[in-house]
Amino acid sequence: TFLVRAMPLRTGDRVTSVVLRFSDITDARRLELVRRDFVANVSHELKTPVSALTLLAEAVQEAADDPEAVQRFASRMQREGSRLGRLVQELIELSRLQGAEALPGTTPVSVEHVLSEAVDRSRLLAEQTGITVLARPEPGLLVCGNEIQLTTAVGNLVDNAIAYSPERTRVGVTSRVTTDADGTEWVELAVTDQGIGIAEPELDRVFERFYRIDPARSRATGGTGLGLAIVKHIATNHGGGVSVWSVVGSGSTFTIRLPLAGRDAEAGDVAAEVA
């Protein structure tokens, strides 16, 4: 692995030449750089709400005889506090997903159940924004793994779809089976929104830890920048992956792909009867 550093050489205002420095970095060194970067990011992300809380507490003390201002500062403290709480919770989750204990196991999990749980969990957020979230799973599909993790992954995608969409739009959550050229069957769980969309150069980057396209918007919606990194870890740990397709201004579709573990014939029958 090579690390390339470009150093422009200038004469006055003009760049006259560029020196490229190639250094060979082994995997261990690269991992060390990633780790150091992560620790620096975590420190920064934790310091921001902590200093906001400290400043707000001072402001409350100073505004003691202005009840309206006290109320305003207190509700901001509440928001910062819950963001800090979510950040710590997601950091713990991410570090657990990177450890051996996160291996998802071999229990069959109903995809239908995962989708309905995830949609249920985001009901409150959806109601507040007047966004309709509709789940249309193919009945009876089974994957292997950890139901809690899979529900978290789909839930994170639904939360994002709501957070990055205008009011009164729709979010669709679907599942279907696709087959590779070699016959391998996959379950694709897709979350589609009619939101702000993501520009081409950002499409890969959104899965990086702490990467946000618009940090101010992410902060306003209570985002931590870790949601999609968690989704990616869960999908990879389950032998699959996650991808995104998007058109700026029209919307995005995030798709989690997992190996199909089988079909629950009974579930299929029940759904067919209901239909």
Q: Which is nearer to ligand ADP, 72 or 219 (CB)?
A: 219
For residues 24 and 1, the answer to whether their CB atoms sit within 8 Å is yes
On the CB side of 227, CA atoms within 13 Å amount to 22
CB nearer ligand ADP, residue 191 or residue 261: 191
CA distances from 220 to 83, 136, 190, 199, 215 (A): 10, 30, 25, 20, 8
Here the tokens at position 87 are 């950040």
Cβ-based nearer residue to ligand ADP, 116 or 169: 169
Owner of token pair 């980057």: 205
Residues near ligand ADP (CB under 6 A) are 160-161, 164, 193, 195-196, 198, 206, 211-214, 218, 223-229, 252
| Residue with Cβ nearer ligand ADP (110 or 218) | 218
- Residue 71 Cβ, how far from ligand ADP at the closest point, in Å? 27
Minimum CB separation from ligand ADP for residue 205, in Å? 8
If the CB atoms of residues 20 and 216 are measured against ligand ADP, the closer one turns out to be 216
Alpha-carbon gap, residue 52 to 58, rounded angstroms: 10
Report the nearest approach of ligand ADP to the CB of residue 152 (Å): 12
- Cα–Cα dist 153/174, whole Å: 14
237 in Cβ contact with 97 (< 8 Å)? yes
CB of 259 to ligand ADP, least distance (A): 24
CB contact at 8 A, 154 and 191? yes
Q: How far is the CB of 252 from ligand ADP (least distance, A)?
A: 4
